[in-house]
A = this chain, B = another copy of it.
């Protein structure tokens, strides 16, 4: 699916990362750089949530209401998997 909100967020994040590269080039204070990286990570979390929300309300609902048990099992397993990874990154 095309998710304009997620795309806009990623473009902003890309600019944010280029800003952090300049901070390193300038020899900025390490802790300030780490804080900016943490801000990018928070922005990436919001982007994931935007995409997950769209996914649940479209693909997941379609799969669960559909007649294919393998497809149903697959979409549910994927939710558990990304949740598992989310608790690790």
Question: Are A84 and B44 in contact (CB-based, < 8 A)?
Answer: no
Chain A contact residues: helix, strand, loop or mixed: helix
Q: How many copies does the complex hold?
A: 4
Q: A49-B83, A51-B34 are in contact. Are A24 and B10 (CB under 8 A)?
A: yes
Chain B residues with Cβ under 8 A from A80's Cβ? 49, 52-53, 56
Q: A18-B14, A21-B10 are in contact. Are A42 and B2 (CB under 8 A)?
A: no
A residues touching B (Cβ–Cβ < 8 Å)? 1-3, 6-7, 10-11, 13-14, 17-18, 20-21, 24-25, 27, 29-31, 33-35, 37-38, 40-42, 44-45, 47-49, 51-57, 59-61, 64-65, 72, 76, 78-80, 82-89
